[in-house]
Amino acid sequence: MSGAKGKILRFVISLVAIGLIAYFMRGKLHESLAILRHEVQWLWFAAAVAGYFVSLAIIAVRLQWVFRVQDIHMKFRDCYYLGFVGLFYNLFLPSAVGGDVAKAYYAYKHSGKKIESATSILLDRLLGFFATIIIAALGLVYFSKEADSAYIDWAVYGACAGLAFAVAFFVSKRFARLFKGLARFIPSERWRLRMAEVYHAIYGYRHHHQLVFMAILLSFAAQALFITTNYWVAVSLGADIVYWKFFILIPVISIVSMAPSIGGLGVREASVLYLFSRYLPPERALAYTLLMDVLIYCFSIGAGILYAFCGGLKQKVGDEMEIMQSLKE
């Protein structure tokens, strides 16, 4: 899919999702805003904000370790900064440049290693997906009767299948060779060589068992804390939902939010409303959705301000990132 068609598709999906939310929640917005004005316990919301900061710190440590295999040495503060850069690009610049490409670009500028930087960011993202999907699967196994939703079941099953394929593909060359014929659909020999370089770079991580294992543990810790921040936001609204249910609901929302859209806009909110309306009145579920958006977008706005002060919002930087996007496509 070309860049232009991809952007149009993401825009349409987000627009349709927002339209559906507006239609089904018509008449509830006033009540939801009243809940936000008068009922939010801001101490719990402050705890959620702090938890979000800490979860980004854990992810920064994980990224440090992943970089180390590729002989890219970045300080913790630089990796932490990359996390904020990614947030900004994911949510506010729905162009060909996504958060992962922006992070890979800055890692490349720091190290001078283009393929290694892109590969490290890709693996870091895969580790995050791994923790998200495994937590969702475990939650579904232990609490499937309470979840009682085919929507949840199929979202988790599909994600598990995709995860199993990705693990087999990057761990076993024998399995990967079964799909060697697909290379003919890559139009350029140069792109085929780059894809092969990326594959072999990721395959090389299988020789670093201890580091990968520790990175996976950090992924679980970061994901568990992120889930907990969502729980604290719900508590701040007086929601009476058992804590463990968030370990099914939030990973499923994260999985669904991977669908093409403008930074998950619309898709994420629709998923939250669909799932949480099973446990909350519609107006309170909408209030929860809006408060989560306040948390996410305030972080992204703050990231954008920090990014601007650091000189990131320059035309030259954007042009160079567009070029680096070619590694992802």
User: CB atoms < 10 A from the CB of 209, how many?
Assistant: 9
Residue 57 has pLDDT above 70, yes or no: yes
**Domain residue ranges in the chain:** 3-21+28-327
What type of residue sits at position 216?
Answer: I
What are the tokens at 114?
């283009």
d(CA 185, CA 27): 50
How distant, in Å, are the alpha carbons of 35, 254, 255 from that of 152? 28, 12, 10
pLDDT at 163: 84
pLDDT 10s digits, 179-195: 877 777 666 677 677 77
pLDDT 10s digits, 65-85: 999 888 888 899 989 998 888
Which residue's entry shows tokens 């101490």? 43
pLDDT at 313: 54
pLDDT at 152: 66
pLDDT at 202: 78
Q: For the chain, what is the mean pLDDT?
A: 81
pLDDT at 274: 86
Q: What are phi and psi of 195, to 5 degrees?
A: -60, -40
Which residues are within 8 A (CB) of 107 and not within 5 positions of it... i.e. 6 or more apart?
A: 67, 72, 74, 82, 113, 117, 120, 121
The sign of the torsion formed by the CA atoms of 292, 87, 58, 53 equals negative
Task: Write the DSSP assignment of 277-291 as a string of letters.
Answer: TTTS-HHHHHHHHHH
With beta carbons less than 8 A apart as the criterion, state whether 276 and 323 touch.
Answer: no
Q: What is the mean pLDDT of residues 234-262?
A: 85
pLDDT 10s digits, 21-56: 888 888 888 999 999 999 999 999 999 999 999 999
Highest mean pLDDT among 5-9, 177-181, 247-251: 247-251
Of 141-150, 164-173, 221-230, the range with the lowest mean pLDDT is 141-150
